[in-house]
Structure 1
Amino acid sequence: MTLAKLDYNMSPWKKTITAGLISYIDAGSIVAGAAGLSMWQAYFGMDSMQMGILAALSSNTGGAAIGALIGGKICDKYGRKFVYNYALLIYMIGVALIVCATNYPMFLLGYVIVGLTVGADVVASWTFIAEEAPSENRAKHCGSAQIAWMLGPVVVFAASIPLNSMFGLLGNRIMFAHLIVVAAFIWYQRLKMPESTEWTESKVKEKQLIAEGKFKKVTYAMILKGTSLKTVFLCCGVYTLWNISASTAGFFMPYIYEHVGNLSNTMSLVMQCANFAVCILATVVFMYFGDKVNRRGLYTIFGATPMIAWVVWTLPAEMLQTWMLWAFTIVNGFAMQQQFYQLWSSELFPVRYRATAQGFTFFVTRFAAAIWAFVVPILMETVGFRVAAIILVALSAISWLVGAILAPDDRGKTLEEITTERYGHELDDDDCLVNCEGKHS
């Protein structure tokens, strides 16, 4: 049987799982560093400035932001498969640098490489999943990538507890090394995957328009106007503002549990592991109800949880009790902003610039998180974490309101139907935005 035949015989779920596993190594690379941040700080003698730079350029923030911006453009021009085949090879090089790091510059370079490749791959993979998923189960398929994202932290934090205890920094190096093995497995599986049907059909139409002299080049000006601008506002309003608190939890939380909550390293990792276990439960809820009930109502309920959870950290440190930290851990885990963002950013933009637009919103999100990540250690060192927590509550509240007011409900619709309904009144055939949509559902 030929490789091409294997490609097109893959089931929708196998395509989704193979593409979505990038989320495991994305989250794994973030939390592996978080689990050993105190040890790396001691090993390299990092000051607050160096920690801020590391956090700002990691796969959690700036590195992924730039990678998404570049990867989105490449993804729309050369295809989803082009990006997710080559990005993982570079990712493995970056992780290897981290594993072998003997000084801060080497460690930082590894983080930058990992961030760039993760950003590019996430855009390609999330776009591919939405385009290949059956319309009636799109939320379920998109949610599966989030399961992989949450599973990464659960595995890494759970394994880090004994490894850090027994081997110290070597244990954290081992956690990074396992990501190379997983990435190699994913890369091999992806060699058997097809290109996105939606993208392939759009390129056929694009060639016709080029031949007729009617083709219009995609620009960010095209994305930042009309209905597309409203979609950008929705995605950034929900995801960017929420992700500032999520990135804080993803990278700094063990450090915060230890230095603000006065917990041991082991207990902080137990709480982080529990948090992501709850995130998996929340994603299962999203997958079950996302294609069945009104999505705005679903978001309104679960989008409020981060705002409520972060209130705990606005209390004076001496008032913090272990049960309060457990309450934060559990309630914060029920947030659904990332699940909804993946769904909306993949289905609400036309196919011609779907990945470019998603890459742009992902860039804005991770860039904002990068700036915040640089500021957090300085805030903790100067005015204390309470000030940061108050800001996080406010941003989470705005994120909740934007989604509760603007969230669409496109359950069961094909991507073509969504594009026609949202853009048909303001686009003509020459834009290759409506007619480029394929009939795949």
Structure 2
Amino acid sequence: MRIGSKNTTGWKATISVAMSNYIESGSIIAIATSLVFWQAEFGIDDVGVGLLAALSANAFGAAVGALLGGPLCDRFGRKFIYTYDLMLYMVGVLIAAFAWNFGSLLLAFILTGIAVGAGVPASWTYIAEEAPKNARAKHVGTAQLAWSVGPTIGFLLAVVLSPMGLMGSRIIFLHLFVVALVTWWIRQGLSESGIWKDTKAMPVVMGRAGGIRGLLSKRKNLIAILFLFGVYGLWNTVAGQMGIFMPRVYATAGVEDPMNQNLLQVLLWGCTVLSTYFGFMKFGDKVSLRKLYIVGGLLGIFSWVLLIFVEASTPILILFAISWGVAAGIGAQAFYSLWTSELFATRYRASAQGVLFFLARMAVGILSYWFPTLLVEHGVPFVGWIMLGLLAASLLIGAIWAPRTQGRSLQEIEDEREGTGAVTTISDTPSDADRFSGSAAR
């Protein structure tokens, strides 16, 4: 069954495109829950584990895919990417499911990462462009919801299939293949982004530089990139380590049973699902985004303060899982996907997503390569201080320079930012911070 007519938009389109986020996060969790089994099966050392994590959908692989996919999405259309990227993804997860040695596993993780990197910027861009202006946060939040459901189901499957060992992990990768195949089939009935088609049809607009060249040609775009990297890149460097290595953090903190580690992750991601729906999606179009961002940021910092300063115990780890889970639901990723779609013109919107996703995943990859060794040699408090510093910086940047874009159409925002008015721009000078922060604050 196809999704409908060639003009199909709305929630069905939003949900099918948002599934890019499910398979992205699902890939990361499939890797996280299987690393111990792969390590034992193929005799991989900690450096090899770091390399697998760094080149996967969690880091460098996705970074390369985003840098390629973003400009292609602006040139050939949003539908071009989300039609073909899943084919590469399916090849990657199939190789992972049947991996026979370290080299084949590394190839699988790289291919999967490239496909994820190409697909996620396209999905975030498409959803924002097709969403009503007064419900943009709700629609964009659907991608965050799918991203949260992926780990919840992934860790549940890991709990159920853990008695099967490595075979259980292979089944988890096969489940991702099936989800990707069904999603690809459904997407064939979707129409192209209306805003992108309108822009392509306008000679005046098309005469201006698009893609990465157009993106980097304007000072206000460079300022917006720095702002959004501060918001998302720093936060995601923390979240990226947690996505891959959190079971190892639990083990270092004293929870050595893999099933209990995965159950803590089910709790964490279950709270993220609830927080995304009842927090960001319900209130993102109604309340001050700046205040909502601050609440999420403070909760994230609180969760890592627990791991650094309080002796690890089951109640403390449960409280950590709940607090981080809620924080992630109304955290930097949801705001980033919303603001990135709003702060860049249509002709280079996906390129901006690609560049930012590239930078964010590069940062994750750099730390991922060293994280397992740092954790083993220095323990949870040491890596906790690194996490705390990154989270605090992300909180301050987002709280001070949050743009005022709520309730306005993407075209209205683009006209203003591309013209002489600058109400929605990120502050060029510190004295403008109050005028541009908090937006929504209405």
Same fold (TM over 0.5): yes
Q: Which amino acid aligns with 2:371?
A: V
The superposition leaves residues 332-370 of structure 1 with CA deviations (integer Å, 9 ceiling, x where unpaired) of: 112211111111111211101000011101110011000
Alignment of 1:6-405 (within 5 A): 6-8=5-7, 10-165=8-163, 167-206=164-203, 214-216=207-209, 218-220=211-213, 222-223=215-216, 225-284=218-277, 285-315=279-309, 319-335=311-327, 336-405=331-400
Q: Is the 8 A contact 2:75 2:211 kept in 1?
A: no
How many Å separate the matches in 2 of 1:183 and 1:219? 29
Secondary structure (helix, strand or coil) at the match of 2:404 reads coil
Identity %: 42
Superposed CA offset, 1:130-157 (max 9, x none): 0001111000000011111111111111
TM-superposed CA distance for 1:255, in Å, is 2.0
Alignment partner, residue 434 of structure 2: none
In structure 2, relative to structure 1, the CA distance for the partners of 1:142 and 1:219 (3 Å cut) is: closer
Offset from partner CA, 1:288-318 (integer Å, 9 cap, x none): 11000111111111122221111223248xx
The Cα shift of 1:426 comes to 7.6
Evaluate the alpha carbon distance shift between residue 371 and residue 240 of structure 1 in structure 2; reply closer, same or farther with a 3 A threshold. same
Q: Matches of 1:298 and 1:217 in 2, distance apart?
A: 33
CA RMSD after TM alignment: 1.9
Letter in 1 for 2:390: L
Unaligned runs of 5+ in 2: 423-442
Amino acid at match of 1:202: T
TM-score, normalization: structure 1? 0.91
Q: TM-score, normalised by structure 2?
A: 0.91
Q: Is the 8 A contact 1:56 1:373 kept in 2?
A: yes
1:187-242 CA distance string (max 9 Å, x none): 00010001101111111114x566xxx54354447436422122112210010100
- Displacement after TM superposition at 1:420 (Å): 2.2
| CA–CA distance in structure 1, aligned partners of residues 139 and 3 of structure 2 | 23
Residue 212 of structure 2 contacts residue 351 of structure 2 at CA under 8 Å; is this kept in 1?
no
Q: Does structure 2 retain, via aligned residues, the 8 Å contact 1:227–1:423?
A: no
Residues 174 and 404 of structure 1: is their aligned pair in 2 closer, same or farther, counting only changes over 3 Å?
same
Q: Is the 8 A contact 1:37 1:255 kept in 2?
A: no
Distance 1:17 1:209, change over 3 A: closer
Alpha-carbon contact 2:235-2:394 (below 8 Å) kept = yes
Is contact 2:252-2:379 (8 Å) kept? no
Cα distance in structure 2, aligned partners of 1:409 and 1:323: 40
Q: CA deviation at 1:46?
A: 1.0
Partner residue in 2 for 1:434: none
Aligned twin of 1:410: 405
CA shift in 2, pair 1:209/1:170, >3 Å:
closer
| Superposition deviation, residue 100 in structure 1 | 0.4
Which whole-Å CA distance do the structure 2 matches of 1:209 and 1:365 have between them?
29
Q: Distance in 2 between matches of 1:343 and 1:218?
A: 19
DSSP-derived class of the 1:262 partner = coil
Deviation at 1:4, TM superposition (A): 11
CA distance in 2, matches of 1:321, 1:255: 15
After superposition, the Cα gap between the structure-2 partners of 1:215 and 1:407, relative to the gap in structure 1 and judged at 3 Å, is closer
Question: For 1:362 and 1:120, how far apart are their aligned partners in 2?
Answer: 10
Structure 1: gaps spanning 5 or more residues: 428-441
